[in-house]
Amino acid sequence: MRHIAIIGSGPAGYYTAEAAQKLWGDEVRVDIFDMLPVPYGLIRTGVAPDHQSIKGVSNRYESTNALDNVRFVGNVMIGEDISVAELQGLYDAVVLATGAPNDRPAGIAGEGLENVFGSAAFVGWYNGHPQFAKLNPDLSGRHAVVIGNGNVALDVARILTKTSGEFTGSDIVGHALHALAKSGIEHVTILGRRGPHQIAMTPKELGELGHLERAAPRVDPADLPDEADDAFLEPGQRKSVTHLRSFAGIPEAFRAEKPVEIEFDFFASPKAILGEGRVSGVEVERTRLDANGRADGTGESYVVPASLVVTCIGYKSSPIPGVPFEESAGRFANVDGRILPGLYCVGWARRGPSGTIGTNRPDGFSVVERIAEDIGLGSAKQGRAGFDTLAAERKLDVVTFRDWKKIEEAEVGRARDGAPREKFVDVDEMIRARKD
């Protein structure tokens, strides 16, 4: 028998469990731990609430849970309730699938001002992550600045500008829907330190900005490179740039019907966030690309007004004491997913925060291959029986998959009309729903 512990129940964790299940069938036992009483990590609290088709991938993870050889072990905080070293004593392999839950700081003055948030916090707020549910951003001002040119920046800009009606069918949490309905934001500036050819935005997500009910995107035609140069882009990127070109061509008459503008400010590198106590603007330096395609400051600077700033410039993993970590890359130090004997990482904890949900599938399968090479037929470790004994001794209030289904049923039961669920945003509420 092989005993595997996976820490983190997001996509990387579940794809790893699926791979182990496929490879070893009844000859493996996998425990998937999560600090929250609810599974699916990024699918639940990262993927945008109006992207329900992406969230549907959790059905696949649910079927991984259908067999007894994989179980969900929720409400267990690794490092507090049980250490990684203890898990290593119990399981043949421990896999860190902890994602990259922390915001990468921009490293500029003013990041600590009021109403300046990183995207982990802001996305967590509108997605009901218990850690950020009480963020309470002030949306009463007129001007939001979103820093970064990736898909998260697009998510944030879109969520900030949608009407309540456009959230029909989404699982945006009630507190965010309510706050957004009263929002005064009329202008969202998306700051990109490089140009249209360097965006990290995918075409489908970028195209959505062209179909919003009350908001229209604006791109300055002068920022667009020569159209002939689009031919050198890979096809996905070319499609994204085509969207930017079409945004640049939106007629003013069309804009006049849209009270909200989403402005792309390219070649604009944030230098400082300004304000006294609370944010009032972002100081930006105009850039040009150097020979290596990097942003090079021109010395020309200006201020973009801002009553709210959200930095969407990437994430980093949380280090764990005793586990080698690559600070600059924000992930665990590893070779092909191997960290130390018996200790592995997968997904964003292995690669850093890049790629789509699906990128984690081959990642999970590849780390299971490495584990198979290392552990062979497994050992006489105690696995889940050992964990259960320890959990009983420590009086841990473990949440099982069956418990989660009860929580889910309660969330579905209290959904507003047309919504798939109304999430609990508080751990105690989740636990209570499991017991009701």
> According to the binding rule CB under 6 A, does residue 148 interact with ligand NAP?
yes
Closest CA to 38 of 159, 158, 128, 166: 128
> According to the binding rule CB under 6 A, does residue 268 interact with ligand NAP?
no
Helix (H, G, I), strand (E, B) or coil at 290: coil
- Shortest distance in whole angstroms from residue 120 CB to ligand NAP: 9
> According to the binding rule CB under 6 A, does residue 121 interact with ligand NAP?
no
Contact residue for ligand NAP among 19, 152, 309, 371 (CB under 6 A): 152
Contact residue for ligand NAP among 10, 39, 150, 330 (CB under 6 A): 150
Per-residue burial over 45-65, b if 16 or more Cβ lie within 10 Å, else e, is bbbbbbeeeebebbeebbebb
Contact residue for ligand NAP among 355, 362, 376, 413 (CB under 6 A): 355
Contact residue for ligand NAP among 347, 353, 364, 378 (CB under 6 A): 353
- Shortest distance in whole angstroms from residue 264 CB to ligand NAP: 12
Contact residue for ligand NAP among 162, 193, 331, 350 (CB under 6 A): 193
- Shortest distance in whole angstroms from residue 379 CB to ligand NAP: 37
The residue of the chain with the least Cβ separation from ligand NAP equals 150
Contact residue for ligand NAP among 63, 140, 354, 389 (CB under 6 A): 354
| CB of 153 or CB of 241, closer to ligand NAP | 153
- Stretch touching ligand NAP by CB under 6 A, among 23-31, 82-90, 194-202, 230-238: 194-202
> According to the binding rule CB under 6 A, does residue 298 interact with ligand NAP?
no
Contact residue for ligand NAP among 81, 166, 205, 265 (CB under 6 A): 205
Instruction: Give CA–CA dist 10/169, Å, rounded.
Output: 23
Contact residue for ligand NAP among 149, 280, 307, 334 (CB under 6 A): 149
- Shortest distance in whole angstroms from residue 189 CB to ligand NAP: 13
Instruction: Give CA–CA dist 344/16, Å, rounded.
Output: 11
- Shortest distance in whole angstroms from residue 389 CB to ligand NAP: 39
Query: Burial, 175: exposed, middle or buried (Cβ in 10 Å; 0-12, 13-18, 19+)?
Result: middle
Q: What letter represents residue 263's amino acid? A: E
> According to the binding rule CB under 6 A, does residue 200 interact with ligand NAP?
yes
CB atoms within 10 A of CB 391: 17
The tokens for 123 are: 């996305």
Percentage helix, strand, coil, to 5, in the chain?
A: 40, 25, 40
- Binding residues for ligand NAP, total number by CB under 6 A: 24
> According to the binding rule CB under 6 A, does residue 155 interact with ligand NAP?
yes
- Stretch touching ligand NAP by CB under 6 A, among 59-67, 182-190, 282-290, 353-361: 353-361
Closest CA to 269 of 348, 379, 192: 192
Instruction: Give CA–CA dist 408/171, Å, rounded.
Output: 13
Instruction: Give CA–CA dist 320/101, Å, rounded.
Output: 13
| CB of 198 or CB of 366, closer to ligand NAP | 198
Return phi, psi of residue 213, to 5°: -65, -45
Only one residue has tokens 């490179």, namely 225
- Shortest distance in whole angstroms from residue 357 CB to ligand NAP: 7
- Shortest distance in whole angstroms from residue 330 CB to ligand NAP: 11
Pairing of β 278-289 and β 268-276: antiparallel
Site for ligand NAP in 312-351 (CB under 6 A): 312-314
Query: Burial, 386: exposed, middle or buried (Cβ in 10 Å; 0-12, 13-18, 19+)?
Result: middle
The tokens for 246 are: 């079409």
| CB of 358 or CB of 413, closer to ligand NAP | 358
> According to the binding rule CB under 6 A, does residue 124 interact with ligand NAP?
no
- Shortest distance in whole angstroms from residue 279 CB to ligand NAP: 16
| CB of 221 or CB of 355, closer to ligand NAP | 355
> According to the binding rule CB under 6 A, does residue 270 interact with ligand NAP?
yes
- Contact 280/298 with Cβ under 8 angstroms? no
Instruction: Give CA–CA dist 15/120, Å, rounded.
Output: 23
> According to the binding rule CB under 6 A, does residue 50 interact with ligand NAP?
no
- Shortest distance in whole angstroms from residue 132 CB to ligand NAP: 16
| CB of 351 or CB of 370, closer to ligand NAP | 351
- Contact 130/36 with Cβ under 8 angstroms? yes
Query: Burial, 238: exposed, middle or buried (Cβ in 10 Å; 0-12, 13-18, 19+)?
Result: middle
Query: Burial, 36: exposed, middle or buried (Cβ in 10 Å; 0-12, 13-18, 19+)?
Result: buried
Interface with ligand NAP (CB under 6 A): 51, 106, 147-153, 155, 193-194, 198, 200, 202, 205, 270, 312-314, 353-356
